[in-house]
Structures are given as structure tokens and as C-alpha cells.
Amino acid sequence: MSGTVVIEGSASQSAAATGRGGLLVIHGDASARCAISLKGTDVVVRGNVGHMSAFLAQKGTLVVCGDAGDSLGDSIYEARLYVRGSVAGLGADCIEKEMRFEHLEQVRELLARSEVDADPADFRRYGSARQLYNFKIDNVGAY
């Protein structure tokens, strides 16, 4: 709900699953499904995240300073994703979005709170295309 959790090493799968608030800092890598069903927590990963990270993420932020695995942000709702390195692939309904000033400021603030040294300008932003918010038979190929 609130507060900060810092992991000095790496995290196994589903770190911060359904987290509703606070800040989670992972100074190593995070395995698959990091930030799954996220509901408000801010997550900062100094290393890489595994496949299906931010699956069904509703609210909150995932900042990845390394690379992201396949199907990042699959079926994402309103969570914000920032990745500095490469993204192996985006999941259904997840698209790259413009990195505006407000987003640079958000990344800068989260990196500072996490004591991670990185340039916000190096990050790219991803989020929901909002095309799967209501079921349409024409989108059946995405399921």
C-alpha cells in the first residue's frame, strides 16, 4: 500500500504482483511477469525484466534500466512502462508512446528515489493502445 522495498540482488518471477502502492526497487534483474496486474506500485529495476512483464498492469509505473523480455505490457491498462534498453517484443495492445516532459520528470523522480544513476532521456515509453478495452469480435486474433 505504501513505503519502499529495496532488493539488493535479483528478484524471481512476478515481483510486485498486484502491488497497490509504494515503491519497489530491484537493483539486479527481475524474472518473468514482473509487475503483473500492477495496481499502483512504482517499480524500478536496475537490470533486465523477463517475458510478460507488466501483463494486465492497471496502474502504477515500471521503469526498466536494462532490457525487457518478450510480450512486454500484454493486455496492459493504464500503467506506464519505461525501458532504457531493448524490448524483445510488445504484447497485445501495448504500443510505444511519445516521451513528453511530464514523463521525463516522472522517470527522473523515480530514479532519484531509487538511487539509480541513469539519464531519463535514454528511456522510451510504452502503454496501452486501448483497443482491447471492450471486447470486439474483430480483435479476436489478439486473444
Partner 1 sequence: MSFVNGNENQPGWRPGLRESATFDRDTIAEIQRAAREGMYDIRGFGAKRPVPHFDDLLFLGASVSRYPLEGYREHCATDVTIGTRYAREPIKLDIPITIAGMSFGALSGNAKEALGRGASEVGTSTTTGDGGMTEEERGHSTRLVYQLLPSRYGMNPDDLRRADAIEVVVGQGAKPGGGGMLLGHKISDRVAEMRNLPKGIDQRSACRHPDWTGPDDLEIKIDELREITDWRIPIYIKVGATRTYFDVALAVKAGADAIVLDGMQGGTAATQDVFIEHVGIPILAAIPQAVQSLVDLDMQREVQLIVSGGIRNGADVAKAMALGADAVSIGVAAMIALGDNAPEHEAGYQQIGSSAGYYDDWQAGRDPAGISTQEPELEARLDPVEGGRRLANYLRTITLEAQTLARACGKSHLHNLEPEDLVALTIEAAAMARVPLAGTSWIPGVTGS
Kindly list the residues in this chain that would bind partner 1 in the complex (CB under 8 A).
1, 14, 17-18, 20, 33, 36-37, 39-40, 56, 58-59, 75, 77-78, 133-135, 137
Task: State in angstroms the smallest separation of the CB of 86 from partner 1.
Answer: 25
Q: Are 19 and 4 in contact (CB under 8 A)?
A: no
Task: State in angstroms the smallest separation of the CB of 111 from partner 1.
Answer: 24
Question: How far is the CA of 128 from the CAs of 20, 88, 104, 140, in angstroms?
Answer: 19, 17, 18, 17
Task: State in angstroms the smallest separation of the CB of 135 from partner 1.
Answer: 6
For partner 1, the closer CB: 30 or 111: 30
Q: Are 82 and 125 in contact (CB under 8 A)?
A: yes
